[in-house]
Structure 1
Amino acid sequence: MGSRVTLRSVAEAAGVSTAAVSYAFNRPQRLSAEVRTRILAVARDLGYAGPNAAARSLRTGRANAVGVILTTELAYAFRDPYVLDLLGGLAETLAAGRTSLVLIPFAPVVAGLTDVQVRESLDAVHRAVIDGAVADGLTDAHPAVRALADRSLPLVLSAESSAARCVLIDDRQAGRTVGRHLVDLGHRDLAMVVAAPDPPGRLVPTVDEATLYPYSRNRLAGVRDALPPGARLRVVSGGGNATGSGHTAAAALLAGGDRPTAIVADSDVLAAAVAHTAAERGLRVGHDLSVTGFDDVPLAAAVGLTTVRQPIAEKGRLMARMLLDPAGTPNRVTLPTHLVVRSSTGPAPARRAGRTLT
């Protein structure tokens, strides 16, 4: 086996200094086009891909990269509209600062894992060559957040934090707004479909609310706050935030004669699936059944969802600015939300399952 190609061996083969090879990869403006082209050609012939990022970060004290903790499968980040908007906002700001984005997967469910399994999941967090990180939907108590804090890395969360910076929305107040909207329309028999840290499509008829993501707990609490005495609220989950989960939860709620008159979903992805399932069963969404979502991603307008709009991309941009410019940004920002009323909500039906709703 041949010896490993290094920056020094490229320099010797090209007849230049090691600094010149480093400049060719990292500071091309410091070399003439002719010299840089020659160095890169020699590097390519020798199979040298460039200076090691981890080693460079040790020398300079910077990796020029920000991590994003994902408590989902990595592929989920590329199909969930909320995550895509958040990553887009992050990338927009980071690109202006010539900073990369590193996606760091973590086990979606920590409860029940052995110590060895938790350590394996933490390995990616420990090994990540980053200057700081964003953790969306996680609290200070999450193992990934604690691991980043142990590394003394700057951290921005989207949940309340006593140790890290945070960019928030008032999820509980947003839940109250949705609840009041439905109550004002006469609804007293409601259900809420929440994303749970379980595989998509697996019915969770009895939800352990302590295991829910912080945003789900707060939105659920807000809806409860808005309900008058005597109103009913059932809570069900079909698993993680995915279309299949919404279908599963809706099918359970709409089976039989005791269905709710309104279903609140804690995301637009779940709400759209609920609405689709209802329509498949011959229900007119907005008439026979009201459905609401959360986020106001493009999907919501396309299917006429009443939903809560939050500035997702702006949240990502602010998180990035907090990491890039800590001295010039506040430690805590709460972004506004507002209710967008569309055709998926309407007055409660006068009668349901043989009883009058008041």
Structure 2
Amino acid sequence: MATLRDVARAAGVSHTTVSNAYHRPGKLSAAVRERVFQAARELGYHGPDPLAAGLATRRVGALGVLFTEALAYAFTDPAAVLFLQGVAGTSELADVGLTLIPAPPESPASGATATDAVSRAVVDGFLAYSLSDDHPGLVAARARGLPLVVVDEPELRPGDREPYIGVDDRDGARQAAAHLTGLGHERIAVLADRLAADARSGPADRARLEAIGFAVARLRIAGYRDGLPAGRAVPVVECGGNTADLGRAAARALLDQPSGRRPTAILAMTDRLALGVLDAARELGLDVPADLSVVGFDDLPLSVGASPPLTTVRQPLVEKGRLAARTLLDLIAGTAPAAQSLLLPAGLVVRDTTAPPPAAS
């Protein structure tokens, strides 16, 4: 196998010149670069070993994205896709790549395997995206001592040093609940994707609500309560995950009962769950919004094209990814980030799935 020194001998230049041709081409004339590359082609040399280069510079040119779902989720969940678009768009400007490190709940990857994956990851730093409290992958990332940025969750605790990029989930949820209250709704239910790593489905009792393991769920449920009249209880139903099918199943259980008992409005913790609610309402012959009002959270592009278009809470998913990546790149470069903790605003977008409750209810 040809080496850099073999290319240097064949091209009649120093090994430093060959290295410059690949890493600092501006230092050489076009003619010298072409002589080096021609010799490399003839010898079958494909360039310096990136691992060896990384050992020399202590940089590998990759950011690790640690998230609490299976790998397929990163490519199929619209919110995750938009976040990663923001990350990748920024990363490309800085000539670095992305390494996805999945660590889903209730699987081997959520225990020692997640720790091993983080410990072995060849990256310059980590983006910890939407992890549960005390997630083993986050513990492992902190132990590596590499630059680290936490995105969305967990919430930073006293003594945590890494930058945090998030969204004002509590205020966004408050706006959603206040909107329904203003329309006159009293029987309101909440659909949550999951409250803990076990991904249980069904109504959440008091003990379950007091032990929520995901900060975003805690904040959104607290925000919904903020937007309701003081003391009004709001039932919370876990869906076991974040898909439209799971939202549809949970909504059917809530809605398939006499009109005087079923909720007149549902606050879905994500747009995907909210779209499932719309499916359930159609299957049960309920009109949205005449019989049922629905509010989501995220403002995904597909929410505008829903039937009817979905009232939801908008969060800046692409911008969140861009800011998170920019912050991590600054840390890797040894530059202090613009902000240690940044909370992006969330705002209600009223469309066609909310209206006053039915007069008879």
TM superposition score normalised by structure 1: 0.85
- Give 1:150's aligned residue: 143
Provide the rounded CA distance (Å) in 2 between the counterparts of 1:225 and 1:348.
Answer: 20
- Give 1:266's aligned residue: 269
Provide the rounded CA distance (Å) in 2 between the counterparts of 1:327 and 1:56.
Answer: 26
Provide the rounded CA distance (Å) in 2 between the counterparts of 1:117 and 1:49.
Answer: 38
Cα deviation for residue 289 of structure 1 reads 0.4
Cα deviation for residue 167 of structure 1 reads 1.1
From 104, 109, 116, the equivalent of 2:106 is: 109
From 104, 109, 123, the equivalent of 1:130 is: 123
1:118 and 2:111 are equivalent in the alignment:
yes
Is residue 133–residue 213 contact of structure 2 (8 Å, CA) maintained in 1?
no
- Give 1:246's aligned residue: 247
- Give 1:321's aligned residue: 326
- Give 2:223's aligned residue: 222
Query: After superposition, what is the alpha-carbon deviation per residue over 1:214-264, rounded to whole angstroms, capped at 9, x for unaligned?
Result: 112210111122222564422112221122221221122122223211111
- Give 2:189's aligned residue: 191
Is residue 67–residue 134 contact of structure 1 (8 Å, CA) maintained in 2?
yes
Is residue 198–residue 240 contact of structure 1 (8 Å, CA) maintained in 2?
no
Provide the rounded CA distance (Å) in 2 between the counterparts of 1:145 and 1:76.
Answer: 19
Q: Identity of paired residues, percent?
A: 42
3-state SS of 1:88 partner: helix
Is residue 188–residue 232 contact of structure 1 (8 Å, CA) maintained in 2?
no
3-state SS of 1:278 partner: helix
Superposed counterparts of 1:255-334, under 5 Å:
255-257=256-258, 258-303=261-306, 304-325=309-330, 326-334=335-343
Worse overlay, 237-246 or 266-275: 237-246
- Give 2:37's aligned residue: 37
Gaps of 5+ in 2: none
Is residue 23–residue 30 contact of structure 1 (8 Å, CA) maintained in 2?
yes
Change (3 A) 1:70 1:23: farther
Cα deviation for residue 105 of structure 1 reads 1.2
Change (3 A) 1:305 1:11: same
AA aligned opposite 2:184: G
Cα deviation for residue 18 of structure 1 reads 4.9
AA aligned opposite 2:284: R
3-state SS of 2:234 partner: strand
3-state SS of 1:193 partner: strand
Aligned residues: 340
Provide the rounded CA distance (Å) in 1 between the counterparts of 2:262 and 2:40.
Answer: 67
Provide the rounded CA distance (Å) in 1 between the counterparts of 2:356 and 2:110.
Answer: 49
Is residue 238–residue 249 contact of structure 1 (8 Å, CA) maintained in 2?
yes
- Give 1:356's aligned residue: none
3-state SS of 2:69 partner: coil
Gaps of 5+ in 1: 353-358
AA aligned opposite 1:300: S
Is residue 14–residue 42 contact of structure 1 (8 Å, CA) maintained in 2?
no
Provide the rounded CA distance (Å) in 2 between the counterparts of 1:39 and 1:26.
Answer: 17
AA aligned opposite 1:185: L
- Give 2:86's aligned residue: 89
Cα deviation for residue 298 of structure 1 reads 0.5
Query: After superposition, what is the alpha-carbon deviation per residue over 1:318-351, rounded to whole angstroms, capped at 9, x for unaligned?
Result: 1112112242511111111111001101101233
Provide the rounded CA distance (Å) in 2 between the counterparts of 1:248 and 1:23.
Answer: 60
Provide the rounded CA distance (Å) in 1 between the counterparts of 2:329 and 2:173.
Answer: 32
Is residue 68–residue 132 contact of structure 2 (8 Å, CA) maintained in 1?
no
3-state SS of 1:156 partner: strand
Provide the rounded CA distance (Å) in 1 between the counterparts of 2:167 and 2:186.
Answer: 27
3-state SS of 2:127 partner: strand
Provide the rounded CA distance (Å) in 1 between the counterparts of 2:74 and 2:323.
Answer: 19
3-state SS of 1:351 partner: coil
Task: Provide the aligned C-alpha RMSD in A.
Answer: 2.7
